[in-house]
Amino acid sequence: MVTTSSPRSVTLPAPIARLNELSENLWWSWHPDAEALFARIDPHLWETLDHNPVPLLRRVPGERLEAVAADPGYVAAYEAVMARFDAARGAEPGASTTWIGRHAPELAGRPVAYFSAEFGLHPALPIYSGGLGVLAGDHAKAASDLGLPLIGISLLYRQGYLRQRLTHDGWQLDVTADLEPWEEPTTRITNPDGSPTIVEVAFDRPDAPVRLGIWKVQVGRVPIFLLDADIEGNPDWTRTISSRLYGGDGEHRLRQEIILGIGGVRALRAMGLDPAYWHANEGHAAFHLLERVRELVAAGRGFDEAQAQIRATTVFTSHTPVPAGHDVFGHDQMDRYFGHFWPGLGIDRAAFLALGQHGEGDDCFNLTALSMRLAGHRNGVSERHGEVTRGMWQDLWPRADSALVPIGSVTNGVHLPTWISPRVQALLDRALPADWRERQEDPVAWDAVREIPDEEFWAVHQAAKRDLLDFVRERTRRRWLEGGVDPGQVVAAGPFLDPEALTIGFARRFATYKRATLLFHDADRLARIVGDAERPVQIVFAGKAHPADEGGKKLIQEIFWRARDPRFQGRIAFVEDYDMGVAARLVAGVDVWLNNPRAPLEASGTSGMKAAANGVANLSILDGWWIEGWSPDNANGWGLVPDPSQDGAQDAHEADAIYDLLEREVVPRYYDRDEVGIPRAWAKMGKEAIRTVAPAFSAQRMVIDYVHRLYLPAARGEDEVPDGRPR
Q: What is the mean pLDDT of residues 297-317?
A: 97
Q: What are the C-alpha distances in Å from 310 to residues 187, 286, 305, 334, 640?
A: 31, 12, 9, 21, 42
Q: How confident is the model at residue 91, as a pLDDT? A: 56
Read off the pLDDT of residues 311-324 as tens digits, 9 standing for 90 and up: 999 999 999 898 87
Contact (CB, 8 A) for 75 and 81: no
Q: How confident is the model at residue 4, as a pLDDT? A: 64
Q: What is the mean pLDDT of residues 521-526?
A: 97
Q: What is the mean pLDDT of residues 20-40?
A: 96
Split at pLDDT 50, 70, 90, the class of 683 is very high
Q: Is the predicted pLDDT of residue 80 greater than 90, yes or no? A: yes
The answer to whether the 108-165+173-329+367-412+706-715 and 434-697 domains have the same CATH topology is yes
Q: Is the predicted pLDDT of residue 280 greater than 60, yes or no? A: yes
**Helix-helix angle 250-258:331-338, to 10 degrees:** 40
Split at pLDDT 50, 70, 90, the class of 94 is low
- How far apart are the C-alpha atoms of 528 and 523, rounded to whole Å? 9
Of the candidate ranges 165-169, 220-224, 481-485, 633-637, the one whose mean pLDDT is the lowest: 481-485
Split at pLDDT 50, 70, 90, the class of 720 is low
Q: Is the predicted pLDDT of residue 96 greater than 90, yes or no? A: no
Q: Is the predicted pLDDT of residue 469 greater than 80, yes or no? A: yes
The CATH classification number of 108-165+173-329+367-412+706-715 equals 3.40.50.2000
Q: How confident is the model at residue 725, as a pLDDT? A: 60
- How many Cβ atoms from other residues are within 10 Å of residue 2's Cβ? 14
Query: What is the SS3 assignment for 653-695?
Result: HHHHHHHHHHHHHHHHHHHCCCCCCCCHHHHHHHHHHHHHHHH
Query: Domain boundaries in the chain?
Result: 3-90, 108-165+173-329+367-412+706-715, 434-697
The per-residue pLDDT of the chain, averaged, comes to 93
What is the torsion angle, in degrees rounded to the nearest 10, for the CA atoms of residue 293, residue 298, residue 301 and residue 304? 40
Beta bridge partners, 338, equal: none
Task: Please report which helix (H) or strand (E) contains residue 252, including its range.
Answer: helix 250-258
Q: Is the predicted pLDDT of residue 727 greater than 70, yes or no? A: no
- How far apart are the C-alpha atoms of 563 and 570, rounded to whole Å? 6
Q: Is the predicted pLDDT of residue 5 greater than 80, yes or no? A: no
Q: Is 519 helix (H, G, I), strand (E, B) or coil?
A: helix
Q: Is the predicted pLDDT of residue 371 greater than 90, yes or no? A: yes
Percentage of the chain lying above the pLDDT 90 cut: 83
Read off the pLDDT of residues 236-267 as tens digits, 9 standing for 90 and up: 888 888 888 887 788 999 999 999 999 999 99
Question: What would you report as the CA-atom Rg of the chain, rounded to the nearest whole angstrom?
Answer: 25
Give me the sign of the Cα torsion angle 342, 348, 349, 355.
negative
**Strand pairing report for 210-219 and 222-228:** antiparallel
What is the torsion angle, in degrees rounded to the nearest 10, for the CA atoms of residue 368, residue 390, residue 625 and residue 446? -100
- How far apart are the C-alpha atoms of 631 and 636, rounded to whole Å? 6
Q: How confident is the model at residue 723, as a pLDDT? A: 45
Q: How confident is the model at residue 325, as a pLDDT? A: 81
DSSP secondary structure code for residue 171 in this structure: P
Alpha helices in 272-396 (DSSP H): 287-298, 303-312, 331-338, 349-354, 367-374, 383-392
Percentage of the chain lying above the pLDDT 70 cut: 97
Contact (CB, 8 A) for 221 and 144: yes
The CATH classification number of 434-697 equals 3.40.50.2000
